[in-house]
């Protein structure tokens, strides 16, 4: 049995393309892997605070020196990190906002990219500690950006995932969602076809 962790980051609940892709993924994955455990963390309904001095204090101070806010921040980071550590498969659903990922997703990453937990520093440089996991990134984009200099989603997410040791990463882009003509339908059909191959 595998454990699947799904991270939703769309600010929209209704009419969200990335959420549609997630639901398709879940249906197909459950049909192919009925015994797997799927956990969904929705960063829109339960947002993670941005990195602040309380979280830094929670990470860096000895237990006896932490105040209540620092301790609470550390416990929140531990919960999010434990979810990631327990997962065999990570699914990140990310609409493109202003050429990049939603700030809520960045905040989640800031909580789980932790020295000594998900990566470590060595004499030869940083080393990821999440080896053996694989990831799927489901994106929704108003225009067409894949492979262009204006795509700051895929390069960034590949880098941070590789940084923590997740090197098996597949991107499924639904592009052209806000363009005229048949771009929307074509982009969605292409994304759904790739999703069908995954399960």
Query: Which CATH number characterizes residue 187's domain?
Result: 3.40.50.360
Q: What is the pLDDT of residue 180?
A: 81
Domain that holds residue 43: 3-198
Cα(41)–Cα(99) distance, integer angstroms: 23
CA dihedral over 136, 151, 8, 27, signed as positive or negative: negative
Ordered mean pLDDT values, 10 residues apiece, the chain (199 residues): 97 95 97 96 97 97 97 98 98 96 98 97 95 97 94 97 97 94 93 92
Cα(110)–Cα(187) distance, integer angstroms: 31
Q: What is the pLDDT of residue 181?
A: 83
For the chain, the domain total comes to: 1
Q: What is the pLDDT of residue 66?
A: 97
């Amino acid at each position: 049995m595998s454990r699947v962790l799904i991270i939703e980051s769309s600010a929209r609940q209704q009419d969200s393309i990335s959420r549609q892709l997630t639901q398709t993924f879940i249906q197909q994955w459950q049909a192919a892997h009925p015994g797997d455990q799927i956990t969904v963390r929705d960063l829109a309904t339960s947002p993670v605070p941005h990195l602040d001095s309380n979280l830094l204090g929670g990470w860096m101070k000895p237990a006896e020196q932490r105040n209540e806010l620092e301790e609470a921040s550390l416990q929140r980071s531990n919960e999010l990190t434990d979810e990631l550590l327990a997962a065999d498969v990570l699914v990140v659903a990310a609409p493109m906002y202003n050429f990049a990922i939603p700030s809520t997703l960045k905040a989640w990453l800031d909580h789980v990219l932790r020295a000594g937990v998900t990566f470590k520093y060595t004499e030869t440089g940083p080393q990821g500690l999440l080896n053996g996991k694989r990831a799927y990134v489901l994106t929704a984009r108003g225009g067409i950006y894949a492979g262009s200099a204006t795509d700051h989603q895929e390069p960034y997410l590949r880098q941070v995932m590789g940084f923590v040791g997740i090197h098996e990463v597949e991107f499924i882009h639904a592009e052209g969602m806000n363009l005229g003509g048949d771009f929307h339908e074509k982009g969605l059909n292409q994304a759904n076809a790739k999703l069908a191959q995954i399960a």
